[in-house]
A and B are shown apart, each in its own frame.
Chain A
Amino acid sequence: MNLDFQELSGTVKVYLDNRLVPHVFAQKENDAYFAQGYLHAKFRLWQMEFQTYYAAGRLSEILGRYSGSTDLLNKVDRSFRRLGMGYAAEQALKAVEANPVTKGQCDAYTEGVNAYISTLTKSSLPLEYKLLGYAPEPWTNLKTALLLKLMTWDLAGSENDFAMTNARNLFSAADFELLYPTTQDSVDPILPKGTPLYGTSDTPGVKLRVPLHADSTYMMAKGSALPLEELKPDRDNGSNNWAVSGSKSGSPILCNDPHLGLNLPSLWFEMQISTPGFNAYGVSFPGAPGIIIGFNDSCAFGFTNAMRDVRDYYEIQFKDQTRKEYRYNNEWLPTKFRVEDIKVKGQDDFLDTVAYTIFGPVMYEPGYADPLNTGKYYACKWTAQSPSNELLAFNELDHAANYSDYLAAIQNLSTPGQNCIFASKSGDIAIWDQGAFPAKWFRQGDFVMPGIDSTYDWQGIIPQKENPHMVDPVRGFVSSANQVPVEVKRYPYYLSGNFPPYRGMEINRRLEQMENITAADMMQLQTDNYDLFAEMARPLFLKYIDTTNMEPAEKSYYTYVRDWDLRNDPGEKAPGIFNSWWHSLKTSIYGDELGQTKYPVMEPYDETLLEALLKDSSYKFVDDIRTPQVENLKQIATLAWKKIYPSIQQADTFGNLTWASFKDTKITHLLHINELSDPHIPIGGGTYSINAAKSDHGPSWRMIVELTTPTKAYAIYPGGQSGNPGSPYYDNFVDVWAKGHYDTLWVMSPGEQNDPRIQWKINFTKSQTTANHPE
């Protein structure tokens, strides 16, 4: 196929292989991004546009006010608008367009998308447009910025400030620390315990002043319960990554598997972009230029989520109901208003006037999402609302030749904060916990904060060089799996966030033992179903459940867990039984305390309960405070078992007790249309396995890169290159992914244009004549 476009400055040759992966060859980089935009649109237009509608708070415009019983206007669109997603995207766009590299890149990309859109007719529109009855609008650079903000929200748009504030209101200071400790004993940080934090022993770059009386007025303030009407991303958005050095594997190997929502069309689009300046292969975001996770001829790079809390709420005091002025440092400051015009299909527009303060947009107020009518105003302060140019980070990583290029590239990554992993052919491995992280004092931002002055405001952003990092360690590997980055006590700033410890511990334990590592070993590790949490928690199961009066069938379920090899394999029955019991136990232990209020309260983490019970079986919260007698752990553990036994038996009768059926992994179409989704995926793993495949969430791109010459790489993702539900390439990777297999990636070289793997060719040319261009 030959296509002519006047926007191009030269020729672009695109070769699509038998996995529908495009290999793009261009002399000019911006021409390559033009082709990338065209290809993204050709295969994923509906998805990329729909996601920008979602991010911009425009779903009502195409779906109407309600979708099923969900009030899209109030629960989704207004939520995103009031969070300032549109504002944040505009700020990001300013930074993107201020830089000539990313400006040119985005302009070319946008032109490419629009070049494809202009070829569409009513009958050739993607299926979803026909189902919903609308047509694509022109792509813009702002849409790219919106898409990146959606990703940012997904990864760094989560905190539990309201639920934590409610918990603080409910419990005594001592109980609160027992329920919500800020770290665990059994944790293996990204920087192993005892590792020097940074080269120099400088005092911290940001010297924190803890507000006077914070202990009494903030930590232990008691107030009424607070609203919780939040649109939240999945709290398990996490990932694994690691890189092993040549000392363990000959040449460095880098592995990454980001865990995200499992959707069709897939989040990722795989491709190769080759220009005189760089040759990168990996996955891209449909809607944004460049390769996001992947490798080039010199090095490989990947990410896991840093999990830090970069979003806080401040209570604002307006002078009156007009919200025109608010109190700040004993002055009345003028409010800036942003009017959000929300179009609603079949109805009049909804106008939402959002007040912007020095802290950010007032997200909650009497007129929005406050079912309790507290009459209070809460502004949301979020690092993602500041201008930043993450695209430049990816652009420079695609070009990176060595460690210093990588280090320069990631400086551009502000939000979402990521554990950026790196390995190069020259032998370096590195990890940086990188991002714009507010420097906080202990517990700052765990609760909603007073906003009448600057006392509780962030006092600065942690200087980049003080972000935790590790380069070429003696142990021969670097890794991260969303655990806490450093020993909490040694870091000069408060590490607030949600840091699940177990995958990280397991990865490090395994990597420590491995020598002479091959790619096959890495595949085995990345898809490993071993459950470290169960290893640590099963002794409680065996010790405290009373087996004396068990029926034979009941006993057999107990025995499954007793004899379990601790692997969450698809055919095992024990994982479903064990997990049901654990959740039942957790509810029995905390349900009575948390149930004292009808308002949402933060549920303690699994690791908190596990550590508490392993240390002390007479843990304070074991007793059911609703009964007159005092229960012990044995009674509660047995009761938890008796409660789940009928449902376990029922699941077994219907053949749903084997782990794959029990957790029932499903890859859901973005519109939640069952007929366009892939249900019942036979895959093992789970929350605490390295193979973190849960019911709707899991490894979204498993990648292994051997930094040999030539590079050898293997990868798979749960989807397919085409977004068209009628294409064989819509979900052809799913089965391979579920089996834990990988495809070998083909980094095409310019001389291979006659390779039998090539199925289709597209030539983008500037003029009508198709001259022979060197490749």
Chain B
Amino acid sequence: MKWITSLLLIALLSLAAELYLPFWSVALISFGVVAAIPQTSWKAFLCGFAALFLLWSCLAFYMDAQNNQILSSRVSLLFLKIKSPILLVLVTGFLGGIVGGMGALSASFLRSPETQG
């Protein structure tokens, strides 16, 4: 439950933060949420990862649908060498996940070793 709450909190706060702040603000959000609601390191990482993976994938998917996949078709060809907008969406989500996960992981390391299960 704590994990799900943290995940939703990270996702929602990140969504709000990204309206005004640069992309890396999501790392700070993940960090802050895990600092406030402590979790063990692997759970923390997964929590941050999943939150940002879902957020960025959904956002990218939505924006891509709005654009009728014109840009993603060209960019996926350019970077992934195959025409696959959905793969580009997943790669985007993955990158977001890494950033969120690392932020969360860092926060979990801040806590003393005893509190880590």
B75 to chain A, nearest CB (A): 7
Q: Are B77 and A726 interface neighbours, CB within 8 A?
A: no
Whether A727 is near chain B, meaning CB under 8 Å from some CB there, is: yes
Q: Are A675 and B77 interface neighbours, CB within 8 A?
A: yes
CB neighbours (8 Å) of A174 from chain B are none
Whether A646 is near chain B, meaning CB under 8 Å from some CB there, is: no
Q: Are A675 and B78 interface neighbours, CB within 8 A?
A: yes
A430 to chain B, nearest CB (A): 44
Please give me the residue from chain B that is nearest to A725 by CB atom: B74
Whether A463 is near chain B, meaning CB under 8 Å from some CB there, is: no
Q: Are A725 and B68 interface neighbours, CB within 8 A?
A: no
Instruction: Name which of B67, B68, B74 has the most chain A CB atoms within 10 A of its CB.
Output: B74
What is the size, in residues, of chain B's interface with A at 8 Å between Cβ atoms? 8
CB neighbours (8 Å) of B87 from chain A are none
B64 to chain A, nearest CB (A): 10
How far apart are the CA atoms of A727 and B68 in the complex, in Å?
9
How far apart are the CA atoms of A543 and B95 in the complex, in Å?
68
Whether B70 is near chain A, meaning CB under 8 Å from some CB there, is: yes
How far apart are the CA atoms of A697 and B68 in the complex, in Å?
30
Q: Could you tell me which residues of chain A, from 660 to 680, have a CB within 8 Å of some CB in chain B?
A: 673-676
- Mark contacts of B61-102 with chain A using CB atoms, 8 A cut-off: 1 yes-contact digit, 0 otherwise: 000000110110011011000000000000000000000000
Q: Are A676 and B78 interface neighbours, CB within 8 A?
A: yes
Whether A728 is near chain B, meaning CB under 8 Å from some CB there, is: yes
Q: Are A676 and B70 interface neighbours, CB within 8 A?
A: no
CB neighbours (8 Å) of B77 from chain A are 674-675
Please give me the residue from chain B that is nearest to A727 by CB atom: B70
A621 to chain B, nearest CB (A): 48
Q: Are A726 and B70 interface neighbours, CB within 8 A?
A: yes
Our pick among A673, A674, A675, A728 for the contact of B70 (Cβ within 8 Å) is: A728
CB neighbours (8 Å) of A727 from chain B are 70
Number of A-B contacts (CB under 8 A): 20
CB neighbours (8 Å) of A728 from chain B are 68, 70
Please give me the residue from chain A that is nearest to B70 by CB atom: A726
Q: Could you tell me which residues of chain A, from 715 to 732, have a CB within 8 Å of some CB in chain B?
A: 725-728, 730
- Mark contacts of A337-371 with chain B using CB atoms, 8 A cut-off: 1 yes-contact digit, 0 otherwise: 00000000000000000000000000000000000
Q: Are B68 and A676 interface neighbours, CB within 8 A?
A: no
What is the size, in residues, of chain A's interface with B at 8 Å between Cβ atoms? 10
CB neighbours (8 Å) of B67 from chain A are 726
Q: Could you tell me which residues of chain A, from 725 to 751, have a CB within 8 Å of some CB in chain B?
A: 725-728, 730
Please give me the residue from chain B that is nearest to A131 by CB atom: B78
B83 to chain A, nearest CB (A): 9
B76 to chain A, nearest CB (A): 9
CB neighbours (8 Å) of A726 from chain B are 67, 70-71, 74
CB neighbours (8 Å) of B75 from chain A are 675
Please give me the residue from chain A that is nearest to B77 by CB atom: A675
How far apart are the CA atoms of A674 and B71 in the complex, in Å?
14
CB neighbours (8 Å) of B71 from chain A are 127, 725-726
B8 to chain A, nearest CB (A): 26
How far apart are the CA atoms of A88 and B9 in the complex, in Å?
61
How far apart are the CA atoms of A113 and B84 in the complex, in Å?
36
How far apart are the CA atoms of A673 and B68 in the complex, in Å?
21
How far apart are the CA atoms of A673 and B78 in the complex, in Å?
8
Instruction: Name which of A673, A674, A725, A728 has the most chain B CB atoms within 10 A of its CB.
Output: A725
Instruction: Name which of A674, A726, A727 has the most chain B CB atoms within 10 A of its CB.
Output: A726
- Mark contacts of A372-386 with chain B using CB atoms, 8 A cut-off: 1 yes-contact digit, 0 otherwise: 000000000000000
CB neighbours (8 Å) of A730 from chain B are 70
A470 to chain B, nearest CB (A): 47
How far apart are the CA atoms of A736 and B71 in the complex, in Å?
21
How far apart are the CA atoms of A730 and B77 in the complex, in Å?
17
How far apart are the CA atoms of A675 and B77 in the complex, in Å?
6
CB neighbours (8 Å) of B68 from chain A are 728
How far apart are the CA atoms of A726 and B77 in the complex, in Å?
13
A269 to chain B, nearest CB (A): 20
CB neighbours (8 Å) of A674 from chain B are 77
Q: Could you tell me which residues of chain B, from 21 to 71, have a CB within 8 Å of some CB in chain A?
A: 67-68, 70-71
CB neighbours (8 Å) of A675 from chain B are 74-75, 77-78
A222 to chain B, nearest CB (A): 53
How far apart are the CA atoms of A674 and B78 in the complex, in Å?
8
How far apart are the CA atoms of A398 and B71 in the complex, in Å?
37
- Mark contacts of A114-127 with chain B using CB atoms, 8 A cut-off: 1 yes-contact digit, 0 otherwise: 00000000000001
Please give me the residue from chain B that is nearest to A121 by CB atom: B22
B27 to chain A, nearest CB (A): 17
How far apart are the CA atoms of A588 and B36 in the complex, in Å?
82
How far apart are the CA atoms of A725 and B71 in the complex, in Å?
6
How far apart are the CA atoms of A730 and B75 in the complex, in Å?
14
How far apart are the CA atoms of A725 and B74 in the complex, in Å?
8
CB neighbours (8 Å) of A725 from chain B are 70-71, 74
How far apart are the CA atoms of A127 and B77 in the complex, in Å?
15
How far apart are the CA atoms of A355 and B22 in the complex, in Å?
50
CB neighbours (8 Å) of A673 from chain B are 78
* Interfacial residues, chain B to chain A (CB-CB below 8 A): 67-68, 70-71, 74-75, 77-78
- 17 further A-B pairs in the complex, CB-CB below 8 A; given A675-B74, A725-B74, A726-B74: A127-B71, A673-B78, A674-B77, A675-B75, A675-B77, A675-B78, A676-B74, A676-B78, A725-B70, A725-B71, A726-B67, A726-B70, A726-B71, A727-B70, A728-B68, A728-B70, A730-B70
8 tightest A-B CB contacts, nearest first:
A726-B71, A675-B78, A675-B77, A675-B74, A725-B74, A726-B70, A676-B74, A726-B67
**Would you give 7 A-B contacts (Cβ < 8 Å), ordered by A?**
A674-B77, A675-B74, A675-B75, A675-B77, A725-B70, A727-B70, A730-B70
* Interfacial residues, chain A to chain B (CB-CB below 8 A): 127, 673-676, 725-728, 730
